[in-house]
């Protein structure tokens, strides 16, 4: 991408770089703090709960809980991905994490709702919610199946 | 609808005041005001972008392109569009309004937004990869590839009718 921007020779490389650095400076402190906060938060929940409900053996429960959690987390990507990373570090299973991130991306209980309803109307948002409702669980289940298949073939 | 929201807000405010006391209430109000002043310009900007682009885009070409979006092919196109959409909600939502007004059906709209949300390249590069690692991100990406199409198919089969307000005029556009 940098090569493409440089080849344009109209300053877009510089502008792009400046913009990226600017954004990074804005986000980096928040990211660091969010990661720290998320780690603490996740540590507060005892590891055996995470293990029992979201861990590798939790199966569908983990997927379901991950989906619901992703649905209700009213935060931007900084916090949400920090939470996901912290959960992963504490032993959450891949299917549960996939469900969590899928749910959060699709619903984004926060600003995107505030964006979406004014721009597209509540009727559209309601329809979109309904269309998309099953996807986190579906994604988590697919991840589960893939994991099973992979582990069986390895054995 | 608006009054429903307003009533809910008032209820939450009362609860906050009653349960948590004046100080918590004041800080919540302050934070709300800050959030509003933060968001309103952005929403206004998104509206402006949508409006401007609507007038600037070659509408016939867009309509012709969109006429080909019946069936699963349209959903696939929407998915690809979502993957390559640069930028965040400020790009995706105005674009959604534009193609809606140009005639895209609800399946395409839902698929596009789902694709942007789940597969948007920018999101994956900036957030998925650093936080979750390449292996997890690749797995999630591959799993999520069919999702927008599924969502679009579901959207098309939903029974009730949905109307989408045109940004240029006040009319509703039945989908």
Tens digit of pLDDT for each residue in B51-66? 666 566 655 666 666 6
Residues B111 and B123 in one domain: yes
B102 is in which domain, residue-wise? 58-175
Residues B23 and B69 in one domain: no
Extract the tokens encoding A6.
């440089």
* Residue B172 reports pLDDT greater than 50: no
Name the residue of chain B whose CA is nearest to A34's CA: B131
Global pTM reads 0.71
* Residue A69 reports pLDDT greater than 60: yes
Residues B89 and B4 in one domain: no
| Count of domains for chain B | 2
* Residue B6 reports pLDDT greater than 80: no
Tens digit of pLDDT for each residue in B123-142? 888 788 888 888 899 999 99
How confident is the model at residue A102, as a pLDDT? 93
* Residue B106 reports pLDDT greater than 60: yes
pLDDT (mean) for A73-86: 82
Question: Which residue of B42, B117, B127 is in closest CB contact with A106?
Answer: B117
Q: Mutating which of A132, A142, A144, A147 best tests the B interface, going by the most B Cβ atoms within 10 A?
A: A132
Residues B52 and B68 in one domain: no
Residues B65 and B32 in one domain: no
**CB spacing of B128 vs A97 below 8 angstroms:** no
* ipTM summary value: 0.74
Split at pLDDT 50, 70, 90, the class of B29 is: confident
Question: How many Å separate Cα A48 from the centre of its chain?
Answer: 22
Question: How many Å separate Cα B148 from the centre of its chain?
Answer: 13
Domain residues of chain A, as ranges? 33-154
Angle, helices B89-101 vs B2-56, to 10°: value is 80
A51: Cβ contacts below 8 Å, ≥ 6 apart: A91
Residues B50 and B70 in one domain: no
Residues B127 and B166 in one domain: yes
Q: Report how far residue A67's alpha carbon sits from residue B64's, in angstroms, rounded to the nearest whole number.
A: 39
Residues B94 and B37 in one domain: no
How confident is the model at residue A116, as a pLDDT? 78
More confident residue, A79 or A19: A79
Residues B64 and B136 in one domain: yes
Question: How many Å separate Cα B7 from the centre of its chain?
Answer: 25
Residues B44 and B113 in one domain: no
Residues B63 and B3 in one domain: no
Tens digit of pLDDT for each residue in A89-135? 877 888 999 999 999 999 875 666 767 777 788 888 888 888 888 99
Split at pLDDT 50, 70, 90, the class of B149 is: very high
């Amino acid at each position: 991408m940098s090569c493409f921007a440089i080849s344009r020779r109209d300053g877009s490389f510089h502008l792009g770089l400046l913009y990226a650095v600017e954004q990074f400076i804005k986000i980096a402190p928040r990211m660091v703090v969010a990661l720290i906060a998320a780690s603490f938060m996740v540590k507060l929940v005892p590891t055996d709960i995470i293990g029992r409900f979201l861990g590798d053996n939790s199966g569908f429960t983990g997927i379901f809980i991950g989906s619901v959690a992703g649905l209700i987390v009213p935060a931007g990507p900084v916090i949400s991905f920090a939470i996901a990373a912290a959960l992963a570090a504490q032993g959450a299973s891949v299917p549960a994490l996939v469900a969590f991130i899928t749910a959060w991306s699709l619903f984004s209980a926060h600003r995107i709702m505030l964006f979406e309803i004014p721009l597209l109307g509540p009727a559209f948002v309601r329809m979109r919610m309904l269309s998309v409702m099953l996807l986190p669980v579906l994604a988590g289940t697919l991840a589960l199946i893939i994991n099973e298949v992979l582990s069986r073939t390895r054995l | 609808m608006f009054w429903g929201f307003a009533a809910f807000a008032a209820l939450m405010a009362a609860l906050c005041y009653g349960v948590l006391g004046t100080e918590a209430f004041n800080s919540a109000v302050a934070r709300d005001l800050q959030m509003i002043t933060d968001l309103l310009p952005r929403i206004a900007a998104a509206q402006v972008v949508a409006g401007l682009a609507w007038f600037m885009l070659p509408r016939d070409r867009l309509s012709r392109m969109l006429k080909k979006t019946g069936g699963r092919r349209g959903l696939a196109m929407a998915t690809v569009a979502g993957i390559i959409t640069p930028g965040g909600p400020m790009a995706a939502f105005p674009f959604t309004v534009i193609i809606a007004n140009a005639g895209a059906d609800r399946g395409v709209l839902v698929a596009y937004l789902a694709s942007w949300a789940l597969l948007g390249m920018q999101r994956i590069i900036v957030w998925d990869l650093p936080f979750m690692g390449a292996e997890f991100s690749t797995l999630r990406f591959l799993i999520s590839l069919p999702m927008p199409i599924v969502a679009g198919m579901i959207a098309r089969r939903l029974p009730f009718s949905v109307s989408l307000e045109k940004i240029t005029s006040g009319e509703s556009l039945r989908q």
